[in-house]
């Protein structure tokens, strides 16, 4: 059985945001095909793109999994549905739980429904800051820059982020 390392972003801005994130990560590890290896701090983060909504709670977790990327994506979407997430027509709108594959080993994949690494991760303080909590030296497999460098070049005025 082969294990893969993946980084999963979790976020919520509806209801008990912190509990929603914790429950989503717990559900992922209950699948027995995934082991939680590390996690970042929790952050309160200002919405990006669609601003007319509550701030989010976000974190990133590092997992080891036997699931391939598509199986992992299906598991994440299943957990979102189980928590009551309704897919709103507003892109980047409010959500009870959002789980995204940020990185999966050093895989670069661009297919219908799945893009790895996450296509906007290098523009998102709410992704880069938590990843840097875990390991700032991880190298983006496309940009070939480490996470700390990508975080340092972001304009932090574009998104408010504070430790929860």
pLDDT under 70 in the chain at which residues? 88-90, 156-158
Rounded to whole angstroms, the Cα distance separating 127 from 8 reads: 9
Structure confidence at residue 85 (pLDDT): 77
82 phi, psi to nearest 5 deg = -65, -25
Structure confidence at residue 66 (pLDDT): 96
Structure confidence at residue 51 (pLDDT): 79
Determine the CATH number of domain 4-163: 3.30.70.560
Structure confidence at residue 156 (pLDDT): 66
Tokens 């080993």, residue located: 105
Rounded to whole angstroms, the Cα distance separating 102 from 118 reads: 5
pLDDT tens profile 17-28 = 999 999 999 999
Q: Which amino acids are annotated catalytic?
A: 85, 95, 98, 100
Rounded to whole angstroms, the Cα distance separating 36 from 5 reads: 10
Domain spans, the chain:
4-163
How is residue 24 written in tokens? 């989503």
Structure confidence at residue 158 (pLDDT): 65
């Amino acid at each position: 059985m082969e294990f893969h390392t993946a980084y999963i972003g979790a976020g919520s801005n509806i209801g008990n945001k912190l509990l929603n994130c914790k429950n989503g990560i717990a559900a992922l590890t209950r699948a027995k095909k995934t082991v939680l290896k590390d996690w970042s701090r929790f952050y309160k983060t200002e919405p990006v793109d669609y601003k007319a909504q509550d701030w989010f709670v976000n974190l990133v977790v590092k997992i080891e999994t036997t699931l391939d990327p598509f199986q992992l994506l299906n598991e994440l979407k299943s957990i979102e549905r189980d928590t009551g997430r309704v897919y709103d027509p507003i892109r980047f709108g409010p959500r009870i739980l959002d789980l995204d594959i940020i990185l999966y080993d050093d895989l670069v994949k661009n297919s219908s429904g799945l893009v790895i690494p996450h296509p906007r991760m290098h523009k998102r303080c709410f992704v880069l800051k938590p990843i840097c909590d875990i390991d700032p030296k991880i190298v983006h497999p496309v940009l070939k820059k480490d996470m700390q460098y990508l975080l340092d070049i972001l304009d932090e005025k574009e998104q408010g982020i504070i430790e929860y």
